[in-house]
Every structure is written in structure tokens, then in C-alpha cells.
């Protein structure tokens, strides 16, 4: 089964991406204002480039990139995508979309943004993806992701599709795609960290009034050197610190040794705060 693939921006050089790399970096670290813009832009682009000439009458199910407990950055983009798409579907007398989740069991902690295609597949190849097959029956599936670099995640999705015996029509939708394969996949890390050079660069995002947690920012904070981490945490609100700790536990990050020092600091903060309240 060959899916239909659509990407709003095609990356064929390293000087003009078609979008602001600083915006992309902020998006990857939880700037929901940028996430909403990216989601709306993706929906508008897909409608103009495909749906206007290929109107779908069946029930559409939108599925964000796989995650365990903490959503990925794509999840925030997905929300705006769904809102924009629903507006258009209703205007054209079609069914509004449904949503589903791909549950992911993660087997690694590494940031693979700088890895080659082969190394990426080695890293994520042992992850397991799960979805509710019965809910998807006779529906059109839109799998959303922010960027396609080597296609490793797409291959994992299609592996899941094959294992579950899904016979649905499938669309793989991306905000951006690397189409020039002479460019090393590490271009993804260049984009991810274009504006975030240190933990202290997160301050403007976290305190922007448009912040939402995602997997990347939680891992980034927990993996930072303790001295800088503790200085950064000291500047944050109680709600932020408590949420960070709760999300980390939800993703089982307490089982990862390299996170232990920072996570214990958060644990002590949360316990002492609650003690003082009592």
C-alpha cells in the first residue's frame, strides 16, 4: 500500500527553507503561537493543492505523530490543522474530522536530529507503535508530522499499518520535507536549535503566554548540566516546575539514569512545596 504524501515546504537548499527557521525552532520547543500558524498554513496548503480538486466524502481521521504520555510538537500543530480543515469541510458539506492516537513505546533517549538515515532506523527500529484498528475501519487516515528528513518515521508508521492489516487510504502530511538528499539529515538539528542555543533561551518561549509542553523541551531540560538547569528552574513558576515533574514521570523518565540528578531536584522541590502547604 503506497500512501499519498504531501509537504507544504520542500527543502532543497540550506539558505531558503520557505519558512523562518527561528519560528521552527520555537515551535519545536513549545511556542504554541507558531504551532497554530504552522497548522493553519499546512491545512490551507493541502486544501488548495489537493482537496479542492479531490474532495473526500468519507470520514477523515487525523493522527498526530506517535507519542507515549507527553505529546510531540506536532500535536500542537495538529490542533490548528484540524480547526482550519473543519472550517473548509463544513463549508463544503462534509463530515468534520475525527482524531486517533498512535501509542508509542520508546526505547531510546537520544536526539536523532543529527544522525544519518541508517542510524535513525537503528535507533527507532525497536520502538513499538499501537493504534485502535476497529475505530479506523472504512475511514481515510491523515498522518501528520512536522518534517520529513529521511522517512524513518514514515517507514515505522507503514510498518505498523502492515502489522495491523489496515486497508485504509492513507495520507502522510508534513509541514516540510527535505527533498535534496545531498543535504545531510543533520539539517534537522540546525533547524531545531536555530534559536535555542542554551537552556536560558527557553525563557522567552516559556514566559511568552503561548507555551505548551512537548517531549522535546522536557527531555532537553532534564538532560541539561545540573548547574545551568538549577539556575533555569529557579526562574520558573511553581506550576511550570510541577508540570515538568509530572510529565517526566508520565513518560517514565525516572528510569533514565542521565536524567536522575535533575529529576531528583524537581522531586525534592515538589515534595518540599507540598510539605510547606500542609
pLDDT tens digit sequence for 214-271: 999 999 999 999 999 999 999 999 999 999 999 999 999 999 999 999 999 999 999 8
Q: How far apart are CA 49 and CA 258, in angstroms?
A: 45
What per-residue confidence (pLDDT) applies to 105? 77
Q: Is residue 117 a contact partner of residue 187, using CB atoms and an 8 Å limit? A: no
Predicted confidence band of residue 127 (pLDDT cuts 50, 70, 90): confident
Q: Which of 265, 2, 9, 14 is nearest to 146 (CA)?
A: 9
pLDDT at 170 over 90: yes
Q: How far apart are CA 174 and CA 168, in angstroms?
A: 19
Compute the C-alpha angle 51/53/54, nearest 5°. Answer: 60
List alpha helices for 92-202, DSSP H: 117-124, 133-136, 152-164, 187-192
**Overall average pLDDT of the 162-189 stretch:** 96
pLDDT at 209 over 90: yes
Q: How far apart are CA 27 and CA 193, in angstroms?
A: 11
**Overall average pLDDT of the 61-71 stretch:** 95
Q: What is the 3-state secondary structure (H, E, C) of 14-53?
A: CCCCCCCHHHHHHHHCCEHHHHHHHHHHHHHHHHHHHHCC
Q: Label residue 170 left, alpha or beta by phi (over 0 means left) and psi (-120 to 50 means alpha).
A: beta
Q: Which of 136, 191, 184 is nearest to 161 (CA)?
A: 136
Residue indicated by cell numbers 518534517: 147
Residues 6+ apart with CB under 8 A from 4: 50, 169, 170, 171, 172
Predicted confidence band of residue 277 (pLDDT cuts 50, 70, 90): very low
User: Please, where in the chain does CATH 3.40.50 lie?
Assistant: 4-192
Q: Could you tell me the fold of the domain covering 4-192?
A: Rossmann fold (3.40.50)
**Overall average pLDDT of the 175-197 stretch:** 96
Compute the C-alpha angle 244/245/247, nearest 5°. Answer: 65
Q: Is residue 40 a contact partner of residue 207, using CB atoms and an 8 Å limit? A: no
**Overall average pLDDT of the 197-212 stretch:** 97
Q: Is residue 66 a contact partner of residue 102, using CB atoms and an 8 Å limit? A: yes
Residues 6+ apart with CB under 8 A from 35: 27, 73, 76, 77, 79, 80, 212
What per-residue confidence (pLDDT) applies to 104? 82
pLDDT at 16 over 60: yes
* Whole-prediction pTM: 0.91
Amino acid at each position: 500500500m503506497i500512501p499519498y504524501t504531501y509537504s507544504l515546504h520542500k527543502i532543497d537548499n540550506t539558505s531558503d527553507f520557505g519558512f523562518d527557521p527561528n519560528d521552527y525552532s520555537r515551535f519545536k520547543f513549545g511556542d504554541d503561537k507558531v504551532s497554530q500558524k504552522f497548522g493553519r498554513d499546512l491545512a490551507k496548503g493541502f486544501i488548495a493543492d489537493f482537496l479542492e480538486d479531490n474532495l473526500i466524502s468519507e470520514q477523515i481521521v487525523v493522527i498526530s505523530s506517535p507519542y507515549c504520555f507527553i505529546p510531540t510538537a506536532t500535536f500542537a500543530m495538529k490542533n490548528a490543522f484540524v480547526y482550519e480543515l473543519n472550517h473548509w469541510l463544513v463549508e463544503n458539506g462534509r463530515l468534520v474530522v475525527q482524531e486517533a492516537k498512535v501509542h508509542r513505546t520508546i526505547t531510546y533517549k537520544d536526539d536523532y536530529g543529527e544522525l544519518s538515515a541508517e542510524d535513525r532506523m537503528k535507533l527507532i527500529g525497536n520502538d513499538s507503535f499501537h493504534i485502535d484498528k476497529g475505530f479506523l475501519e472504512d475511514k481515510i487516515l491523515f498522518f501528520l508530522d512536522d518534517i520529513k528528513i529521511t522517512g524513518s518515521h514514515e517507514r515505522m508508521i507503514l510498518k505498523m499499518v502492515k502489522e495491523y492489516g489496515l486497508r485504509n487510504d492513507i495520507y502522510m502530511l508534513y509541514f516540510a520535507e527535505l527533498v535534496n538528499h545531498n543535504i545531510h539529515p543533520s539539517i534537522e538539528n540546525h533547524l531545531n536549535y536555530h534559536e535555542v542555543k542554551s537552556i536560558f533561551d527557553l525563557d522567552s518561549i516559556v514566559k511568552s503566554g503561548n507555551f505548551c509542553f512537548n517531549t522535546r523541551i522536557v527531555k532537553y531540560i532534564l538532560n541539561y548540566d545540573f548547574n545551568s538547569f538549577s539556575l533555569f528552574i529557579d526562574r520558573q513558576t511553581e506550576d511550570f516546575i510541577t508540570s515538568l515533574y509530572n510529565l517526566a514521570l508520565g513518560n517514565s523518565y525516572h528510569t533514565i539514569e542521565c536524567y536522575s540528578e535533575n529529576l531528583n531536584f524537581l522531586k525534592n522541590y515538589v515534595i518540599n512545596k507540598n510539605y510547606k502547604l500542609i
